[in-house]
Amino acid sequence: MKLLSPLSLGALAALGIGLAGCADQNPLAVAPARATLEAAAEEAPDSGEVVVYASDGSAQEEGGFGIMAVAMRDVRIGVVQATSSLTLGSDASYELRDKANGLVLMSGTGGSVTVTLAAAPPPYWRLQVMCSNIATVSTRKAAAEKAGHITFTEFVPAANCTRLYLGQFAPPPANTFGARTTYRNSLITAGLAGTDSFWRTVAVGTSVYSVTRGTTTLQSVNPVVITSSSGIVRIGGAQYRGKGEARANSAGTLAGINELPMEQYLWGVVPRELGPIAYPELEALKAQSVAARTYALAGLNKRSSDGYDLRATTDDQVYGGYSAEHPLSTRAVDETAGIAATFEGRLISALYSSTSGGYTADNEEAFGSAPAAYLRGKPDAQRGAAFEHVPSTDVFRRHASAKSLRNAAEGDFDSNWGRFHRWTFEWTDAEISAVISAFAGRPVGKVLAINVLERGPSGRVLMIEYVTEAGTFTDTRDRIRASLKYINAAGAATNLLSTLFNVEPTRDGGFVVYGGGFGHGVGLSQTGAVGMAEKGRTFDEILKHYYTGIDLEAWY
């Protein structure tokens, strides 16, 4: 991760200084047990929580890795999530086909086409209340219609269930939050929706795609797909292996999708997540490969309403496509091909972040989700030969002096590699007022105090309050990074690096923060993995240190 983008350093990987910490904000719906991999779990709400499903099976071990007999389908990545115009092309000969019937619409060599939506249905906010079998959905739908509610159903082949939506509110950018909240609460009270219901923007109707090359324009009612004789296509100007596709997303705009084999996808992920030039430790790159593969497998169908599985950003995992590939990271992917991390027979939520600051976090510390046995906080250090000889976590939790976090902890795996093992920022009186005013949504005047009300086992802040002339405002867990922004060198407010910090007032009325780590701190620490590899640990040892009690299986 980097100061220019608080979520990831992936963009710097090509320069040899890149490292990213993903899954910082979005939920991860973990895939079911192995036998039902191809019918993955229904998409979870985009709430910032980690969704971990209970285990219902166990892995069989043979030769150190479980045996798997599931055919792996290609993965679909949203490399352009929303645009009004998308270019598809190739430097070699190419064909552009209608996705539904396979008919060739255009062909050529060394060129591109431009796709727009000639017609698109308007999107509306709709409340998804369930995804279940036809009988259950029909019963709820009838009850809702009897009560006068607008209903809409959508069958999801990948999840083998039917979604039921209730209500219809003005589409973005209209601000209907208050009305939608009142409506949702009324449905919950009436028993037509549960507390797990969530809002989505859904466009209902038929899209018409307009494809232009030079003076020629064709139209199609189906998404269009480009393939190339070289196996490399261009989507929005960037190069990718496999196929390129333009199709409408759930918001009624265009998405650019790259479809390709899982391992080839990982060739473009690993170097963006852990730059092999800056971090040339093969075992660390192999650990990153397994974590990224596990994350991707568990996320199949996660964003199916938009036509793909995962985004190519820190919302999921940074994916740079063909141009991001590097021989060392490709070797790491190839030498771990098909291997995934499981817990009691299920794919884990393979969360990871840049730098732990010395101690990783329990998942509930960052996200407030139910505790996951394999996402327990761990010392990210080694003194001597034993993991238990680490600096006391009291330095993070109960030390009287905030300045204690200015001291680098000798022996930490990430201290030699993590640029943000320790950090400090300072706000003037005016700066902190502007930052908290932005969080509060109104001017707050002078910030009188910033108080940490609760910490987690790793020392990370669970609850904070901002005492101002306009009142007191609170925030919790990983969201604090967005409310207590620091001012970067360009003068822009930027998310705080982590919630492992102490804050205190300065003499001039401002505040200073001393912190450690970068990212949510849950699961694998990327710089910690590099430090472990440097000290001779293998990729499986690294993974089993950061993910408690896991197994490594040959998933396909």
Owning domain of residue 464:
423-515
pLDDT at 106: 96
**Tokens matching residue 23:** 């899954």
**Domain limit, last residue, from 500, 515, 530:** 515
**Domain limit, last residue, from 177, 203, 229:** 203
Sequence-ordered list of residues with C-beta below 8 angstroms from that of 227, at least 6 positions apart, any chain: 94, 95, 97, 233, 243
CA–centroid distance for 335 within its chain: 25
The 8-class DSSP code of residue 443 comes to: -
Cα(293)–Cα(340) distance, rounded to whole angstroms? 6
Least-confidence region, from 165-174, 286-295, 427-436 = 165-174
Q: When comparing pLDDT for 211 and 196, which is higher? A: 211
Q: State the average pLDDT over residues 155-170.
A: 85
* Same domain, yes or no: 329 and 449: no
Among candidates 8, 26, 77, 13, which has minimal Cα distance to 351?
26
Name the pLDDT band for 47 (thresholds 50, 70, 90).
very low
Q: State the average pLDDT over residues 173-182.
A: 86
53 exposure class (CB count in 10 Å sphere: 0-12, 13-18, 19+): middle
Please give the tally of structural domains in the chain: 4
pLDDT at 407: 46
Residue 298 falls inside a structural domain: yes
Among candidates 254, 261, 232, 252, which has minimal Cα distance to 244?
232
**Domain limit, last residue, from 203, 221, 250:** 203
Q: State the average pLDDT over residues 197-201.
A: 89
* Same domain, yes or no: 150 and 46: no
For 92-125, b where at least 16 C-beta lie within 10 A, e where not — what string? eebebbbbeeeeebbeeeeebbbbbbeebeebbb
* Same domain, yes or no: 243 and 116: yes
Residue 369 falls inside a structural domain: no
**Tokens matching residue 275:** 């730059």
**Tokens matching residue 443:** 């001017």
Q: State the average pLDDT over residues 437-449.
A: 96
Residue 347 falls inside a structural domain: no
68 pLDDT exceeds 50?
A: no
* Same domain, yes or no: 33 and 16: yes
For the stretch 84-95, pLDDT in tens is: 999 999 999 999
443 pLDDT exceeds 60?
A: yes
Q: Are strands 310-311 and 493-494 parallel, antiparallel or unpaired?
A: unpaired
Instruction: Give the SS3 label for residue 56.
Output: coil
Residue 462 falls inside a structural domain: yes
* Same domain, yes or no: 182 and 196: yes
Q: How many C-alpha atoms does 92 have within 13 Å on its Cβ side?
A: 11
Q: Average pLDDT, whole number, for the chain?
A: 83
554 pLDDT exceeds 60?
A: yes
For the stretch 383-427, pLDDT in tens is: 433 344 334 444 444 443 434 444 444 445 555 566 788 888 999
132 pLDDT exceeds 70?
A: yes
Q: Are 242 and 261 contacting, i.e. CB atoms less than 8 angstroms apart? A: yes
Residue 437, CA distances (Å) to 5, 163, 254 in order: 22, 39, 35
52 phi/psi in degrees, rounded to 5: -120, 120
For the stretch 458-479, pLDDT in tens is: 888 999 999 999 999 999 999 9
510 pLDDT exceeds 70?
A: yes
CATH code: domain of residue 137: 3.30.70.1070
Q: Are 84 and 116 contacting, i.e. CB atoms less than 8 angstroms apart? A: yes
**Tokens matching residue 43:** 């998409």
Cα(433)–Cα(510) distance, rounded to whole angstroms? 9
Residue 324 falls inside a structural domain: yes
The 8-class DSSP code of residue 166 comes to: E
Among candidates 22, 2, 44, 47, which has minimal Cα distance to 351?
22
337 pLDDT exceeds 50?
A: yes
Residue 537 falls inside a structural domain: no
Instruction: Give the SS3 label for residue 148.
Output: coil
pLDDT at 194: 93
Sequence-ordered list of residues with C-beta below 8 angstroms from that of 173, at least 6 positions apart, any chain: none
Q: Are 448 and 469 contacting, i.e. CB atoms less than 8 angstroms apart? A: yes
* Same domain, yes or no: 299 and 444: no
Residue 380 falls inside a structural domain: no
pLDDT at 369: 86
Cα(527)–Cα(261) distance, rounded to whole angstroms? 28
Residue 351 falls inside a structural domain: no
Cα(476)–Cα(499) distance, rounded to whole angstroms? 10
pLDDT at 31: 42
244 pLDDT exceeds 90?
A: yes
Name the pLDDT band for 100 (thresholds 50, 70, 90).
very high
Sequence-ordered list of residues with C-beta below 8 angstroms from that of 59, at least 6 positions apart, any chain: 34, 66, 342, 344, 345, 551, 553
Name the pLDDT band for 119 (thresholds 50, 70, 90).
confident
* Same domain, yes or no: 50 and 90: no
Q: Are strands 123-132 and 198-203 parallel, antiparallel or unpaired?
A: antiparallel
For the stretch 530-545, pLDDT in tens is: 989 988 999 999 999 9
* Same domain, yes or no: 430 and 507: yes
Instruction: Give the SS3 label for residue 243.
Output: strand
CA–centroid distance for 124 within its chain: 24
pLDDT at 71: 56
Q: When comparing pLDDT for 170 and 136, which is higher? A: 136
Q: State the average pLDDT over residues 9-34.
A: 39
* Same domain, yes or no: 135 and 158: yes
For the stretch 289-311, pLDDT in tens is: 999 999 999 999 899 889 999 99
* Same domain, yes or no: 85 and 167: no
Name the pLDDT band for 25 (thresholds 50, 70, 90).
very low
Q: State the average pLDDT over residues 416-444.
A: 89
* Same domain, yes or no: 116 and 210: yes
Reported pTM: 0.77
The 8-class DSSP code of residue 548 comes to: T
In this structure, which amino acid lies at residue 35? A
193 pLDDT exceeds 80?
A: yes
**Tokens matching residue 181:** 């909240």
- Report, in angstroms and rounded to the nearest whole number, the Rg of the chain calculated over CA atoms: 24
* Same domain, yes or no: 47 and 153: no
Least-confidence region, from 152-166, 222-236, 323-337, 504-518 = 152-166
